[in-house]
Amino acid sequence: MKARISVLTLAVADLEASLVFYRDGLGLPTEGIVGREFAHGAVAFFQLSGDMKLAIWAQDDIAHDTGLAKTPISSTALTVGQNVSTKEEVDEVMRTAAEAGAEIIKPAQDTFYGGYAGYFRDPNGHVWEVVWNPAMLPDDDQETGTD
């Protein structure tokens, strides 16, 4: 089996407010909320690098669709990692997130593995790690050996 994970969906309490946070605050590209014509179908997708997408979907709708009971979001159950190209970019993303309303839970600092990282929590409680790891630079930043 090939792991073809292409969408990461985050449960949100308020779809409109979350759209504003991710689109206007963090600057993630999106066509906005789609699927409003379907009961429990309103969702927003954001294009990330490569073919990866981030989706935000109301937690009530996820509970309805899966048949699972709604439970509180746990900030320590999952983190979303954004790997950037430089230490300065880590600081820039963290600053942008704070200005958009994120809670900085660990300011960016040098890491034990030789990188630089910080954590913020989005308005729904999801934890994001913004990291510069010299051993794992984003693909579009790696040298290809061609000019």
pLDDT digits (tens, 9 = 90+) for 49-74: 888 999 999 999 999 999 999 999 99
Mean pLDDT of 118-125: 97
Residue 4 or residue 105, greater confidence: 105
What six digits make up the tokens of 11?
């449960």
Question: Where do the domains of the chain lie?
Answer: 7-66, 79-141
Q: How confident is the model at residue 141 (pLDDT cuts 50, 70, 90)?
A: low
Q: What is the mean pLDDT of the chain?
A: 92
CATH tag, 79-141: 3.10.180.10
Other C-beta atoms lying within 10 Å of the C-beta of residue 35: 14
Topology agreement, domain 7-66 and domain 79-141: yes
pTM, whole model, 2 decimals? 0.87
C-alpha distances in angstroms, 124 versus 41, 76, 101? 19, 13, 11
Under CATH, to which class is 7-66 assigned? alpha beta
pLDDT at site 4: 83
The half-sphere exposure of 129 on its side-chain side, counting CA atoms within 13 A, is 15
d(C-alpha 113, C-alpha 141), whole Å: 20
d(C-alpha 131, C-alpha 117), whole Å: 4
Q: How confident is the model at residue 139 (pLDDT cuts 50, 70, 90)?
A: confident
Using an 8 Å Cβ cutoff, are 147 and 104 in contact?
A: no
* Residue 138 in this model has a pLDDT that exceeds 80: no
